[in-house]
Amino acid sequence: MQIAPFAVEEWMNRYETQARCNIAETCVDSISLDELLALCQQPRQAFLDQLAKRPLTYGDIVGSPEYLEGVCSLYRTIQPQNILSTHGAAGANHLLFYSLIEPGDRVISVTPTYQQLYSIPSSFGAEVVLLPLRPEEGWLPNLDALRRLAADGAKMICINNPNNPTGALMEDSLLEQIVEIARSAGAYLLCDEVYRGLNQDGSKTASVADLYEKGISIGSMSKVFSMAGLRLGWIATRDKAALDACLSHRDYSLISCGMLDEQIAALALANKEKLLERNIALIRENLRILLDWAAEDPHFSLLPPKAGTTALVQYDLAPESVDFCRGLLEQAGVLVVPGDCFGQKKSFRIGYACAADVLRDGLRLLSAYARTV
Ligand SMILES: Cc1ncc(COP(=O)(O)O)c(C=O)c1O
């Protein structure tokens, strides 16, 4: 099966270990099990003893009841039977396209976004139509353009909210209009929501799984909850036939997720307010650092992100983005991701939810490097 190279993941695979200062990471500063237990005020020894005694079975095939209950608490209408546990959101997106998309199906996807949303359906033989997001429209979808594309018949519309890489946020009223477009086309609405919950103003944004009977929400423990190492994500949808298709296909590739991972995730989700408090405070402080830096350095500009952990920074220097970012890594040890990995020229994606000191160092080195190119 042919598939386009996954530009952002290939970049990270190749350079991540060489970075002295990584400001490309998209998770909110990852936490250890010890930090989680302290945050949740769980007695460490009792938790570990109990974990160590559990027979290492496949666990609950669709996900443990405690974990599913925790995931449900992130939605308004979703029940445990509406969720399927997966190997990260990466696994969820893949499984979803694998289960629902056939050759010739029309899939609409926004761009820039996480490349899975268009390259996987394309590899399955779908006719993929891209809907460009533009800075002059706040990186938000143009509804007239979407309506026109969907009217020609679409099996699925793919969006990403909040958006990676821009940090744009579709508010509920915009989401409701997109739902109406999907509904008139009879299309599934897939929303990659791995950054949902990280709004700068602390507000909460609706999930398409709550708004629409054919809405499919993809979530994950990686970004919002700082636990990418659990490799846990999920598909949430009230469309029973779609979820059944995913389970049937998942039997061939996954069987179940790790039972110990799910136990840790269940603890984190039961204490989600504490984790969110930590993580929202961090993205707020760090966004201030990022915006202050951009205001000071005339070479760089960005549309302030409203949510999530990433921003697309534009620059006015000569090198194209891959050369610019490679030079930055080689000369200053700082890792960011070239805008060209997202089809965006003269720009790079920054992940600003790392430790504040790392961000400050990275930005200082970036400015010094910019003076040399
Ligand atoms: C929009 C988006 N979806 C999915 C993923 C994959 O996340 P996970 O670690 O849950 O597999 C990422 C990771 O960067 C992402 O940015």
CB of residue 85 inside a 6 A radius of ligand 1? no
Query: Residue range 277-305: average pLDDT?
Result: 98
Q: Which of 256, 272, 288 is the last residue of a domain?
A: 272
Using DSSP's 3-state secondary structure scheme, residue 315 falls into strand
Q: Please report whether residue 279 resides in a domain.
A: yes
Give 253 Cα–ligand 1 centroid separation in angstroms: 19
Residues 169 and 179 in one domain: yes
pLDDT band for 1, please (50, 70, 90 cuts).
Answer: confident
Ligand 1, closest atom to CA 87? 11
pLDDT, residue 152, reads 85
pLDDT in tens, 93-128: 999 999 999 999 999 999 999 999 999 999 999 999
Cα–Cα dist 305/26, whole Å: 13
| Model confidence, pTM | 0.97
Q: Where are the alpha helices (DSSP H) in 191-258?
A: 208-211, 240-250
Pocket test for ligand 1, best of 71, 86, 95, 114 (most atoms within 8 A of CB): 114
Q: Which domain CATH number covers 265?
A: 3.40.640.10
> Is the CB–ligand 1 distance for residue 163 below 6 Å?
no
User: Which CATH number fits the domain that encloses residue 300?
Assistant: 3.90.1150.10
Number of helices (H) and strands (E) in the chain: give both, helices first. 14, 13
Is 46 among the domain residues?
no
Please name the residues in contact with 127: beta carbons below 8 A apart, sequence gap of 6 or more.
104, 105, 106, 107
In a domain, 265, yes or no: yes
Pocket test of ligand 1: the residue of 96, 115, 220 to mutate, having most ligand atoms within 8 Å of its CB, is 220
For residue 350, how far is its CA from the centre of ligand 1 (angstroms)? 15
Read off the pLDDT of residues 146-202 as tens digits, 9 standing for 90 and up: 999 999 899 999 999 999 999 999 999 999 999 999 999 999 999 999 999 999 999
Residues 268 and 243 in one domain: yes
Cα–Cα distance measured from residue 223 to residue 248, given in angstroms and rounded to the nearest whole number: 27
| Whether the CB of 192 sits within 6 Å of ligand 1 | yes
Number of domains in the chain: 2
Which residue segment(s) compose the domain that 130 sits in? 55-272
Please indicate whether residue 26, judged by its CB atom, sits closer than 6 Å to ligand 1.
Answer: yes
Determine if ligand 1 sits within 6 Å of the CB of residue 29.
Answer: no
Q: Please provide the average confidence, as pLDDT, over all residues in the chain.
A: 97
Any atom of ligand 1 within 6 Å of the Cβ of 90: yes
Q: How far is the CA of 190 from the centre of ligand 1 (A)?
A: 14
Asked, for residue 43, whether it belongs to a domain, the answer is no
| Confidence bin at 343 (pLDDT 50/70/90) | very high
For residue 233, the ligand 1 atom closest to its alpha carbon is 10
pLDDT at 45: 98
| Contact partners, residue 84, CB within 8 Å, separation at least 6 | 62, 63, 92, 95, 234, 235, 243, 246, 247, 250
Any domain includes 44: no
Residue 28 Cα to ligand 1 middle (Å): 12
Q: Using an 8 Å Cβ cutoff, are 245 and 100 in contact?
A: yes
Q: State whether the beta carbon of 114 lies less than 6 angstroms from ligand 1.
A: yes
227-270 confidence digits (pLDDT tens) = 999 999 999 999 999 999 999 999 999 999 999 999 999 999 99
Residue with tokens 């949510």: 307
The residue-averaged pLDDT of 311-335 equals 98
